[in-house]
A and B are shown apart, each in its own frame.
Chain A
């Protein structure tokens, strides 16, 4: 249910418009005001986990945004995000990159400590990463570490742990050898799979991450109390190297799952921050100053099975895409403030030019055009030697919002293309099974980027990617993605991903429908919470300015 809830949270409860900028924080007060007031105001924040009890606080096993919301405050990787959402050094104070960009030498920050007072060492990182790669650990996301030499082989049982390219030269020096030069390594290494855990703690107690008093982290907060299914309380970690930058002393996370309930609790002042507003409140909250919506790095798609007729034909696939009026869909049907997807890469990535990747894209793909749709369909049918389109079934997983969208698409295809499509829905896990077995003609799927880069979503459709269930395979696309992955020049990389997106959009194994956004209400008494395309708001720089 958790996953399912998350899915709903990500996709149903999405919202509004975004401007060109990447993120926002809710600072109403100027910094001086904030710090002056902060002195006299108790620094306590009460947030909510709409997913309920986090499944685990061990970064090796966490797989859901609820767990990450807490984990992000407990641990700090070599890289972290700063106040503006930029990736900067975290537990490492210095990074040396070899001229061929294949070797990264990290110097662990002087004074970096675990919450139990132990120094953070390079050995901790080596231990943590190898722990995730150990096939016996059965961690959630070892594939994020596959960029490291020997990592994939070890994880798949084909290589030895000694050959994994992570070595602690001494307590403060970590040597990381990559398979190939990788310009976006920091973007990947800021991810959850790269977070460190304290080796001595993990080795001593298998269930160390199950209770507040056994968790040891190196982040700005440490857990003080964990009342299961009720509340987690974090307090500022006195051993954190950058503790002076942290003003909130205590953060409570309640675990209220029902959207209407946590909305009411926000209204009565029990909560300072809620995410994923109940859909029926968005209209009335839209103009509220406390309301925030920001892009989430995810895209809502319908996938074709390009080996299932009639979608073996590219023109027929394109016809379906042109027949969808995405603007109408977002403004009249979903109404949560989603953005029409005229491309595949969602909003949220900032190009070197300073503009959002989406706004920088050279083309607006598949703007609604019923005439063109009909023409392409006719041509496609002719190419296939058909006079009539065979029955087409749209599959989606059972949920009100998906049903609404599927029905809208059904109506649009009938009206704009004269095609009658059947709808079929299945419960989530059953649906996933159907989807993985490629047992569909066209089926709904929402992707969240693995990391905040166009490649984080574009990578899904290379021939060998485990997320690609379309049967689509395109050599040009694979080559472009590979080149982009190893391109070190940021501008060239953008160009390469743009070319790849163009190939993907023209060949069209998937129809992007809309881009999701997250909604939030934040009390004006709290400032400095950072909202951007990451899946959770960043609470580390929050300050309470009023009691």
Chain B
């Protein structure tokens, strides 16, 4: 029952997003056909608008769009003429998701490690070092980190390719550049939450039983301290696997990150809609899965419409 209700809410949420995006997008001034350095005569513009149904009233365009959407057809990209939005997303999602998943795994692993180390050495040198690294990770933006990585790892030391896509080697630098901020955020969350958990009575009981520290941390500490981490991993995961504008551009990754930004500058309406819907679906589904997973991590959490 819970699942059915959730699915229904998800659909309504998506419909609201589609409608709002559609309206807001058409409120922005400008049209897809304005180009630089050459003005197109009005008669020619009219032909172009007619081709993409942009000459019809907005309500008609909206109904047409929803109709196509029901058949999962996101329409043609106005900019690229020969490619439709479904193809654009399908093509770009593979590299974006690959990088995203790789960097999330790295971020989870490194972030939990750093956070746990910091918590176990609370207020001692290792704590400060870990948190210092985390601070750096949060404060260095990826558009600075990425060129630095290229400059040293690729150009000066020649260890890895500068950019582009192809082999696993090409994925290393962008994965790292993408993971740094999440590592830092996860580390700080884990540390706080772990500190709290380590002061719980069941931990003291475990200590009293004479269990080794690593076992206490892994079995009792980590599991319980991961719940707050989970709740923000959902949105983070959704945004990372759907590509990022800056990192993908700097490393020339053939992902979908750029469409989120370019489509708006280009007023490429079908692409704006398509990327927004795609991102929303990934986000809504991820959140749903995360909610389900709480139950497995902590059976005390009951799934109910209210609790969700």
- Identify the A interface with B (CB < 8 A): 1-4, 6-7, 10, 52-53, 55-58, 61, 63-64, 135-140, 142-143, 155-157, 207-210, 227-231, 254-258, 260-261, 264-265, 267-268, 270, 298, 427-430, 432-434, 436, 446-448, 450, 466-467, 469
Q: By the criterion CB–CB under 8 Å, are B265 and A428 in contact?
A: yes
Tell whether A466 pairs with B47 under 8 Å between CB atoms, given A230-B254, A265-B162, A432-B30.
no
Can you name 15 A-B residue pairings with CB atoms under 8 Å? A3-B266, A53-B80, A55-B79, A55-B80, A136-B51, A138-B47, A207-B83, A229-B255, A230-B165, A254-B252, A261-B162, A264-B155, A264-B162, A433-B31, A447-B37
Contacts of B38 in A (CB 8 A): 447-448, 450, 467
The CA-CA distance from A436 to B34 in the complex, in Å, is 10
Binary contact readout B35-50 vs A (1 if CB under 8 angstroms, 0 otherwise): 1111111111001101
Considering the complex, give the chain A residue whose CB is closest to the CB of B28: A430
| A268 lies within 8 A of B155 (CB) | yes
Residue in B37, B163, B254 with the greatest tally of chain A CB atoms within 10 Å? B37
Say yes or no: A135 contacts B47, CB within 8 Å: yes
Which 7 interchain pairs have the tightest Cβ spacing?
A429-B30, A229-B254, A1-B262, A448-B37, A210-B82, A138-B51, A7-B36
Complex alpha-carbon distance, A63 and B39, angstroms:
12
Chain B interface (Cβ < 8 Å from any Cβ of A): 28-31, 34-44, 47-48, 50-51, 79-83, 91-92, 147, 150-151, 154-155, 158, 161-166, 249-252, 254-255, 258, 261-263, 265-267
Question: Apart from A229-B254, A256-B252, A270-B164, what 7 extra A-B contacts exist at CB < 8 Å?
Answer: A155-B43, A208-B82, A229-B92, A257-B252, A260-B250, A430-B28, A467-B38
Docked Cα-Cα span, A137 to B50, in Å, equals: 10
Report A22 CB to chain B, min CB distance, Å: 21
Kindly provide the distance from the CB of B186 to the nearest chain A CB, expressed in whole angstroms: 28
Which among A429, A434, A448, A469 has the greatest number of chain B C-beta atoms within 10 A?
Answer: A429
The answer to whether A298 touches B37 (Cβ under 8 A) is yes
User: Which A residues touch B162, using CB under 8 A?
Assistant: 261, 264-265, 268, 270
| B29 and A6 contacting across the interface, CB-CB below 8 Å | no
A140 to B29, CA, bound (A): 21
Measured CB to CB, the closest approach of chain A to B258, in angstroms, equals 7
Known: A136-B51, A469-B39. A265 touches B81 (CB 8 A): no
Number of A-B contacts (CB under 8 A): 159
**Please, how many angstroms separate the alpha-carbon atoms of A299 and B239 in the complex?**
41
On chain A, the residues within 8 Å of B36 by CB distance are 3-4, 6-7, 10, 428, 446, 448
Tell me the bound Cα distance from A476 to B48 in angstroms. Answer: 34
Residues of B with C-beta under 8 A to A446: 36-37
Q: Cβ of B265 and Cβ of A254 under 8 Å apart? A: no
- Across the interface, B37 reaches (CB within 8 A) one of A10, A231, A256, namely A10
**Bound-state Cα–Cα, A467 to B41, Å:** 8
Please, how many angstroms separate the alpha-carbon atoms of A450 and B38 in the complex?
Answer: 8
Do the beta carbons of B37 and A7 come within 8 Å of each other?
A: yes
Cα-based distance from A1 to B263 in the complex (angstroms): 7
B150 touches A143 (CB 8 A): no
> Which of chain B's residues have a CB closer than 8 A to the CB of A469?
39
Residue of B nearest to A206 (CB): B82
Cβ-defined contact, B41 with A466, below 8 A? yes
Q: Is the CB of A56 within 8 A of B47?
A: no
Interface pair A261/B83, CB less than 8 Å apart: no
Separation of A503 and B167 alpha carbons in the complex (Å): 60
> Shortest Cβ distance from B177 into chain A, in angstroms?
12
How many angstroms from the CA of A265 to the CA of B166 in the assembled complex?
15
Give the docked Cα–Cα distance between A427 and B249 (Å): 20
Residue of B nearest to A426 (CB): B29
On whether the beta carbons of B44 and A155 are closer than 8 Å, the reply is yes
- CB neighbours of B249 from chain A (8 A): 257-258
CB contact between A261 and one of B39, B48, B250, B261 (< 8 Å): that residue: B250
Q: Is the CB of B44 within 8 A of A256?
A: no
**Contact partner, A436, options B39, B81, B155, B161, Cβ 8 Å:** B39
Contact of B81 among A1, A56, A466 (CB under 8 A): A56
Q: Which of B31, B91, B263 contacts A229 (CB 8 A)?
A: B91
Chain A contacts of B265 at CB under 8 A?
A: 1, 3-4, 427-429
Contacts of A432 on B, CB cut-off 8 Å? 30, 34
Q: Which of A157, A429, A466, A467 contacts B267 (CB 8 A)?
A: A429
For residue A3, give the distance in angstroms from its CB to the closest CB of chain B: 5
CB contact between B47 and one of A1, A136, A260, A268 (< 8 Å): that residue: A136
- Chain A residues with CB under 8 Å of B261's CB are 1
